Structure 1
């Protein structure tokens, strides 16, 4: 497994497909925007659904601040499409077959599942914040918003 990305590290290059089958290119789709990238183990699991819905419920706060949200796991495009539709998720879910990108970010496995970790990437592609808590999926959106609040600027 790769070294875990740390604050100050540049995001590695990757291209993944979203739930609509469109390519997401880290060089072009992250450039010029602050982005929340969260890795989660499985579509439709209880904790992962709570996490995705927490990002959904806070989505307006992110977009008002000019921040895009992207979820990533190894499920296929069709699974992501169903998960997004069922839970009314307004952001991109990227399919990472073989967990190549999760390994590039160095997200650690938990138990027998891929890990749960959230990164904030600035408009230059640099990690400025990260949060890891496998069992508290819903806390990820809250922690990110707290970091992004003007008090922390």
Structure 2
């Protein structure tokens, strides 16, 4: 049964395998362990809002890494499209392809704007695979970056789940 809302704080990240660079399979859970994951779902490579969001994450990427996190972007675009998008905007983080929408469904990322656009949701997932926060907004793209970095920094300082929110 499909989720009707995004994963919430305290829920386990689903075990999904997506297509990465070179069309290689990437199991999202395999990225857990040593780092917190910032998993962001976005509508489309090279669209205005998605480019602003990706470049915002790029510009803060070293801050995410310093705080012990890895950033992973997911959209329905192909791995080849992601490769071009990453090259054009010098994106240092992982982009994964969810062409069949299975990860979107597992994470509960529903379409927005009358179902015309894929949703935009960012999840912060701790090292154990537990969602610590989810933020959904199609238009407040900068808030996705600010909010997730703030939480990652709190988690790196050993904040408890309630205090980290």
Assess same fold via TM > 0.5.
yes
Distance (whole Å) between structure 2 residues aligned to residue 63 and residue 26 of structure 1:
18
Pairing 1:138–2:142 present: yes
Partner of 1:128: 132
Residue segments in structure 1 that go unaligned for 5+ positions in a row: none
Pairing 1:13–2:15 present: yes
Partner SS, residue 71 of structure 1: strand
Distance (whole Å) between structure 2 residues aligned to residue 20 and residue 91 of structure 1:
15
Which of 60, 70, 73 is the aligned partner of 1:71? Answer: 73
TM-score, normalised by the number of residues in structure 2? 0.86
Pairing 1:84–2:86 present: yes
- 1:47-103 per-residue CA deviation (whole Å, 9 max, x = no partner) reads 000000000000000111120000001000100000000000000000001211011
Deviation at 1:24, TM superposition (A): 1.6
Deviation at 1:138, TM superposition (A): 2.4
Pairing 1:27–2:29 present: yes
Deviation at 1:10, TM superposition (A): 0.4
Residue segments in structure 2 that go unaligned for 5+ positions in a row: 158-162
Residues 77 and 109 of structure 1: is their aligned pair in 2 closer, same or farther, counting only changes over 3 Å?
A: same
Range that drifts further, 5-14 or 130-139: 130-139
Distance (whole Å) between structure 2 residues aligned to residue 27 and residue 93 of structure 1:
15
Deviation at 1:20, TM superposition (A): 3.6
Distance (whole Å) between structure 2 residues aligned to residue 13 and residue 145 of structure 1:
24
Distance (whole Å) between structure 1 residues aligned to residue 28 and residue 93 of structure 2:
15
Range that drifts further, 41-50 or 131-140: 131-140
Partner SS, residue 58 of structure 1: helix
The root-mean-square deviation of aligned C-alpha atoms, in Å, is: 1.6
TM-score, normalised by the number of residues in structure 1? 0.93
Range that drifts further, 73-82 or 139-148: 139-148
